[in-house]
Structure 1
Amino acid sequence: MPSVQTALDDKSLLACSEVILFLRPHLQQQQLLQQIKEMQQEDYRIVYITADEDPSKVVAFAGYRHMQKLFSGKTIYIDDLACLPDYQGRGYAASLLNHIKALAKTEGLSSVQLDSGHALFPAHRLYHRQGFRISAHHFTQPL
């Protein structure tokens, strides 16, 4: 399995666009780089993995940020995690989660957190296998 890499420049961020747009199809390709750059100002970071058979093809990514909350202290919050359908079940997403958890432990953080759509049962199985537990419901009110 290829190692986890960090997207640090425009080229690596754009290399992640296929898998980002798979997860977030409502986004526009032409505005994606600008939106990520704005999010980076809020400590958003992207890590990714390329295909075993093609090191130029990004097949999984995670977007995360460091946060501090009254209820949980200092944490890493995973905003985004996805793997292209043809590459699911190969351990790519688990490798990204392991990488982020190791980073949080190294930094002495209290937890890693994420939200997941209520009907994404395959993702929920992965999170449970990785030691995550359901600790809250996330509520949204469109305005």
Structure 2
Amino acid sequence: MSIAELADVTAAHPVLRELRPNLAPLEEFRAQAEQQQAAGYRLIASLDGNGEIAAVAGFRTGRSFAWGHYLYIDDLVTLPAARKQGHAKALLDWIDAEARRLGIGEIHLDSGTSRHDAHRRYRGTGFVIPSLHFSKPTPEA
């Protein structure tokens, strides 16, 4: 298993669809990914023994009054056939090292309330649940 930063995000599209089934078709996805990359989004992959992508993590850095200099994990997913083989932990370890390298004080992520296996992984790697995240659609005018 090895970790690689992906300059071309198209290879991650089928893996990200596991987490986000409503993900845009490939060309739309590529255009949005390029916009996100221009704003600092980075995508890394955990490769299996054959060099195939088994898991991906997408993240960005920022600054806020609430968190200071932070790293936010937008996407973290492992293909079903590759789960429980250490890919998510390897990605999270790489992100920890990158956050240290960048002098970042905190790493954040949100996770759907029904993703219990993911929650166990996050808690097992030092994440805590310090707050609840609320959202709502923008009211129509």
Shorter chain as denominator, the TM-score bin is: over 0.9
User: Percent identity of the aligned residues?
Assistant: 34
Shift of 1:68: 0.7
* Alignment equivalent of 1:110, drawn from 105, 109, 131: 105
Match of 2:22 in 1: 26
Structure 2 letter corresponding to 1:5: A
Instruction: Determine the C-alpha separation between the residues in 2 that align with 1:97 and 1:66.
Output: 15
The aligned runs of 1:123-142 (5 Å cut-off) are 123-142=118-137
Structure 1 letter corresponding to 2:75: D
Structure 1 letter corresponding to 2:39: E
* Alignment equivalent of 1:100, drawn from 86, 95, 102: 95
Q: Deviations over 1:81-108 (max 9, x none)?
A: 0000110000001100010011111221
Structure 1 letter corresponding to 2:5: T
Match of 1:5 in 2: 4
Shift of 1:29: 2.2
Q: SS of the counterpart of 1:132?
A: coil
Shift of 1:51: 1.8
Match of 2:41 in 1: 44
* Alignment equivalent of 2:11, drawn from 15, 23, 28: 15
Contact 1:104/1:112, CA 8 A, preserved across alignment: yes
Instruction: Determine the C-alpha separation between the residues in 1 that align with 2:41 and 2:114.
Output: 26
Report runs of 4+ in structure 1 exceeding 2 Å deviation: none
Q: Which moved more, 1:59-68 or 1:103-112?
A: 103-112
Give the TM-score taking structure 2 as reference length.
0.93
Give the TM-score taking structure 1 as reference length.
0.92
Q: SS of the counterpart of 1:4?
A: strand
Work out whether 1:121 is the aligned partner of 2:116: yes
How many equivalent pairs are there? 137
Instruction: Determine the C-alpha separation between the residues in 2 that align with 1:128 and 1:22.
Output: 22
Q: SS of the counterpart of 1:75?
A: strand
Instruction: Determine the C-alpha separation between the residues in 1 that align with 2:83 and 2:45.
Output: 14
Shift of 1:32: 0.9
Structure 2 residues not aligned, in runs of 5+: none
Shift of 1:15: 1.2
